[in-house]
């Protein structure tokens, strides 16, 4: 089971996404991952608030 959250206000409005990976028997020990707009090719001028759609 994974938990993914958006943090659109992170880094002055550029945004970020974080994911905690786990399994049914051990919910948060498989690792964590976080990334921002640059990792996916989203331009940051104008504060894109990356991750907003995950919070909707």
The predicted structure's pLDDT at residue 27 = 64
Q: DSSP readout, 3-41?
A: EEEE-TTHHHHTB-EEEEE--SSSTT-SEEEEE-GGGGT
Tens-place pLDDT, residues 3-13? 899 999 999 99
Q: What was the pLDDT predicted at 32?
A: 85
pLDDT, tens only, 1-56: 788 999 999 999 999 999 988 777 776 666 788 999 999 999 999 999 999 998 76
**What does the pLDDT read at residue 23?**
74
Which residue matches tokens 């921002």? 36
pLDDT of residue 1: 73
């Amino acid at each position: 089971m994974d938990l993914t959250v958006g943090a659109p206000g992170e880094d002055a409005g550029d945004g970020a996404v974080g994911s905690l990976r786990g399994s049914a028997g051990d919910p948060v020990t498989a690792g964590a991952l976080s990334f921002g707009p640059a990792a996916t090719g989203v331009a940051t001028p104008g504060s894109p608030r990356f991750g907003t759609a995950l919070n909707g």
